[in-house]
Amino acid sequence: MTDHHMKNQALYSLLMIIALSLLCACNGDAPKTSRPDNKDYKEPLIEANRHVVKTENRHIEDFLRRYKWDMKESGSGLRYMIYEEGNGIPARKGMLATINYTIKVITGDMVYSSQQNGPLIFIMGKGEVISGLEEGILLLNVGDKAKFIIPSHLAYGLVGDGNLIPAKTTLIYDIELVNLKQSN
């Protein structure tokens, strides 16, 4: 018998012993393991999310300093700046909004624009757009032009949009609120 053949035979025997041990352990008499307590996984996830938000916030603050943008911050983390004021009616939930836009990732690369895709039309408050965009538009009047920096948790989060926006991406919107009217 060759050395190689003996090693294969030993490995085969070891695998058979492991398989038999597993079969015996699964006969129903084995003690059941308890489910982990919510604290076992919830606290580490919360801490990991805090770290991600802090890191993304640092990147946003660096961007604002670099480009000398003076933006206000909402309680959710949305940054906004109205750079041209219109004189139309204010945005409210339930209204049909029409906006022109460009969307860039924080690196400056453009991903979408109304010049390519046409204006975006949606009903405010129905969840038809990302929450950060809706929150920002609710701060505007018809005719306003604004810039929004939308952190990933208010945009496409951990999954991205499945097309041009990657996961965990901060977005920069430049928008004009073109029209508002009552939705039917």
Residue 84 pLDDT grade (very low, low, confident, very high; cuts 50, 70, 90): very high
Residue 38: pLDDT band by 50, 70, 90 thresholds? confident
The domain locations on the chain are 72-182
Half-sphere exposure of 101 (CA within 13 A, CB side): 23
- Write down the mean pLDDT value for the chain: 86
Region 71-81: mean pLDDT is 96
Q: What confidence score (pLDDT) does residue 40 get?
A: 74
Give the number of C-alpha atoms closer than 13 A to the C-alpha of residue 15, restricted to the C-beta side: 6
Whether the full predicted model's pTM is greater than 0.85, yes or no, is no
Question: Does residue 14 have a pLDDT over 70?
Answer: no
72-182 CATH: 3.10.50.40
Is residue 23 scored above 80 in pLDDT? no
C-alpha 12/C-alpha 9 separation (Å) is 5
The yes-or-no verdict on residue 28 having pLDDT over 60 is no
Q: What DSSP string runs through 32-68? A: PPPPPPHHHHHHHHHHHHHHHHHHHHHHHHHHHHHHT
